[in-house]
Amino acid sequence: MDKKLEPIVKDLQEKFSITYEEHRGEVHCFVKAEQIVEALKLLRDEHKFDLLSAQTAVDYYPKMSPRFHVIYQLTSLEKIAFIQLRVPVNGDNPKVPTATSVYDTCNWRERELMDMFGIEFENHPDPRRILMPEGTEGHPLRKDFPLGYEEPQFTFNFEEINIRKPYAKE
């Protein structure tokens, strides 16, 4: 792990008992949903992570439970350090507290996730759809949302496509 990140991860471990993973030099910390706002506040105020570079989500349906990971990619301008926080969220009734009080950019980013994944951000100041028109049904970036045409099945990807086909299976 990067030397700059060691004390930060240790601090997070002590205060929020997080677990972490490393991949190609990136550090991914797993935080519980109810602690995310506090964790972001700690990183911003104590460790100078001023910039929330990206906030996104991944849908692991149907392979993994919990279904979603909400991802916060943070940048520290002063230390030139990068850290990623991941919040696992359950598939039925996905809820995460909003982080708009910590970073203003979360306002639009969370609206996008609400729109695209149907993850609810509690106490969000402006919970409207952002990209899709009002009245759209469903959440396009979920894995069970069809792309709009039938994908051709070959032997090497037959099973993979079969899982997410919308037709009734016997």
Partner 1 sequence: MAQIEEIGIGQFKHLVSERALRGETMLLNMGPQHPSTHGVLRLILELDGETVINCIPDIGYLHTGVEKNMEAKTYQKAEVMTDRLDYMNTMGNNLAYVMAVEKLIDVDVPPRAQALRVILVELQRIASHLVWLGAFGLDLAAMSVFLYCFRERELVLDIFEMVSGQRMMTTYIRPGGLWRDVPVEFEKAVRDFVKLFHKRVDEYERLMTRNPIFLDRLVGIGYLDKKTALSYGVTGPMLRASGVNWDLRKATPYLGYDQYDFNIPTREEGDTYARYIVRIEELRESLRIIEQALNKLPLGPVRSDNRKFVPPPRSEIGVSMEALIHHFKLWTEGFLAPQGSIYNAVESPRGELGAFLESDGGPKPYRVHMRTPSFDNLAVLPEITKGHLVADLVAILASVDIVLGDIDR
Contacts with partner 1, residue ranges (CB under 8 A): 23-24, 26, 28, 50-54, 56, 58-59, 63, 71, 73, 75, 77, 80, 82, 84, 103-105, 107-109, 125-126, 128-137, 140-141, 145, 147, 151, 156, 160
Residue 121 tokens read as 């951000």
Which residue in this structure is represented by tokens 């996104």?
A: 56
By the 8 A CB rule, do 22 and 1 touch?
A: yes
Report, in Å, the least distance between residue 14 CB and partner 1.
25
Please, which residue, 14 or 80, has the CB nearer to partner 1? 80
Please, which residue, 14 or 46, has the CB nearer to partner 1? 46
DSSP annotation of 96 reads E
Closest C-alpha among 28, 35, 41, 17 to residue 71? 28
Please, which residue, 166 or 170, has the CB nearer to partner 1? 166
Report, in Å, the least distance between residue 127 CB and partner 1.
10
SS3 state at 85: strand
Closest C-alpha among 68, 58, 81 to residue 11? 81
Report, in Å, the least distance between residue 84 CB and partner 1.
7
| Rounded Cα distance, 158 and 144, in Å | 16
Please, which residue, 35 or 84, has the CB nearer to partner 1? 84
